[in-house]
Amino acid sequence: MTRPERARPGSGALASLPSLAPLPTAAERAAAVIRENIFEGKFQPGTALPEAALSQALQISRNTVREAFRALMSEHLLTYETHKGVAVRALTVADVHDIYTLRQMFETSAIDLLDSGRAELDPAALLEPVAAGEAAGAADDWVTAGTANLRFHSNLVSVHGSTRMEEFFRRLMTEMRLGFLALEDPKTFHAPYLVQNRSIADKIIGGRYDEARTDLTAYLEQAKTEVAAAVAKQSTVDDDR
Amino acid sequence: MTRPERARPGSGALASLPSLAPLPTAAERAAAVIRENIFEGKFQPGTALPEAALSQALQISRNTVREAFRALMSEHLLTYETHKGVAVRALTVADVHDIYTLRQMFETSAIDLLDSGRAELDPAALLEPVAAGEAAGAADDWVTAGTANLRFHSNLVSVHGSTRMEEFFRRLMTEMRLGFLALEDPKTFHAPYLVQNRSIADKIIGGRYDEARTDLTAYLEQAKTEVAAAVAKQSTVDDDR
DNA sequence: TGCAACATTTTTGTTCAACAATCTTTCGTA
DNA sequence: TACGAAAGATTGTTGAACAAAAATGTTGCA
């Protein structure tokens, strides 16, 4: 006998839940804490993170702090120089342009794939993040809204079916979150995109691929301009300090 | 007064020279040695690398060995599992397909860029690796020929002008070298591609982009089949051991 | 004052020995 | 043979220590 069908969270929704299983190693837990602090804005871009300070704050040995740093470096959240230690990554305007150029390439080619019938897409993969973004926006939680937004675009790229592309795109999304930190008013930035994501999702699902491509390209161009401006402003502020 | 013009190494040629400057930290030097051993075939794919053994062999402490491992993990040369340590990466057939799909995407879109005049290319960037490959082939040095081959394709992708794409493509090239390790007869594999690279380079430089695209696609398809077969064979051999 | 050379302090790079936690292997028993 | 417990090997982590490099502070001089 089968159990009655009941509503289940859409694709990707569970991914945003905090994992219940505690991370196995101290280094990973430390990395998680540091990562959290970066995205919370506690450790601002450009901030140096001395090993001794983190060792004391997290109550772990310096060697373990270093392991955590290595992990975050490979996530491109920290920069490193020999004998100078690590610092929270600060995006440059060139970074922002590079990132959006690649997003344009990966996302529009995903639509091409759908358009030509070489790939298929579960509508829920787009609708779930859109709905999650709208819900977060309604609750005035713009960090969650931003993350849902990124999940929308990641799921679109997933139609390529390439594990390496997904991994690479995840990296780009991580860097986007660093860029979001530079925004002065996240609400003003994110709110319009909630509407646009809904529209793009509908067009893709409805098979109106040309319109979707056009809208997406405009979307990315606009977002790039805004984030680049925010990052530029941030770097001038840093210089003044 | 100007010095007389004299022959200079073409673009990228110097990159293949061993760096004279010794690496600053012991961890980096250790990583270089391990990397070397992998590509020399001394550490074969799938081989576990115990920390204690490397520590003794390289005369460095276990902590430093771990730092070297971290670096190589982020280069995707080593795999890692908690409490199980690291092992030399062994490509799967799925990996090979994924890699060639992405190569196809990046390389043909580079030609598109040239075709539409949105980017330009220094002919030397293609001709130098082609010549280097031919020279290495003539000297029966198929490791160098393989590396020159990869440089040819990297330089093609460079026309995108995206630092992240270049970095990502370098990763793919590194993984290709892991795949080359599975080849039974490198000469039989590489020799035909020396000729094809020359032909593709000529067509690109000559503006015959459609032909170049066709040839390149055929090239990649053929190479994918061969490397996938070699990797498949290698994995069955490993299973038998 | 401005600046260059030197001395001091801080921070990173690395080692070592030790122990806890987790696999792997071995081996005795049912 | 199959199972499971004990023994052994390997990884995860610590803390202290010192060398080496970078950052900082100080002095002396033009």
- Write out pLDDT tens, residues B109-158: 999 999 999 999 999 999 999 999 999 999 999 989 999 999 999 999 99
- Could you count the other beta carbons within 10 Å of the beta carbon of residue B44? 14
Q: Regarding predicted confidence, which is higher, B78 or A6?
A: B78
Residue A148, SS3? helix
Distance A82 CA to D19 C1' (A): 15
H or E stretch at A64: helix A62-74
CA neighbor of A100 nearest in space, from B165, B2, B187: B165
Cα B70 to Cα A58, A72, A201, distances in angstroms: 21, 11, 40
- Could you count the other beta carbons within 10 Å of the beta carbon of residue B117? 7
A56 CB-to-strand D distance under 7 Å: no
Distance from CA of A47 to the nearest CA of B (A): 23
Residues paired with A49 in a beta bridge = A86
Q: Is the dihedral of CA B144, B145, B149, B152 positive or negative?
A: positive
pLDDT of res. A235: 81
Each as own residue / partner, the long-range contacts of residues B46-49 (CB below 8 Å, 24 or more positions apart, any chain) are: B46/B87, B46/B88, B46/B90, B46/B238, B47/B87, B47/B88, B48/B85, B48/B86, B48/B87, B49/B78, B49/B85, B49/B86, B49/B87, B49/B88
Cα gap A226→A43, rounded to integer Å: 23
Q: Are B67 and A70 a contacting pair at CB < 8 A?
A: yes
pLDDT tier for residue A227 given thresholds of 50, 70 and 90: very high
Tell whether A222 lies on the interface with B, counting CB pairs under 8 A.
no
A66 contact residues in B (CB cutoff 8 A): 67
Tell whether B195 lies on the interface with A, counting CB pairs under 8 A.
no
pLDDT of res. B2: 40
pTM higher than the cut 0.95:
no
CA neighbor of A73 nearest in space, from B27, B51, B49: B27
A70 vs B25, B70, B162: nearest CB: B70
Is beta strand B48-49 parallel, antiparallel or unpaired with respect to B78-81?
unpaired
Percentage of chain B lying above the pLDDT 90 cut: 85
Q: What is the pLDDT of residues A52-100, one digit of tens each?
A: 999 999 999 999 999 999 999 999 999 999 999 999 999 999 999 999 9
Q: What average pLDDT does the segment A128-133 reach?
A: 96
Q: Which residue has the tokens 């509503």?
A: A7
State chain A's mean pLDDT as an integer: 91
Cα B88 to Cα A145, B72, B96, B137, distances in angstroms: 40, 10, 16, 28
H or E stretch at B26: helix B26-39
Q: Which of residues 21-50 of B touch strand C (CB under 7 A)?
A: 25-27
Check if the beta carbon of residue A218 is closer than 8 Å to that of residue A210: no
Distance from CA of A27 to the nearest CA of B (A): 11
Tell whether A61 lies on the interface with B, counting CB pairs under 8 A.
no
pLDDT tier for residue B70 given thresholds of 50, 70 and 90: very high
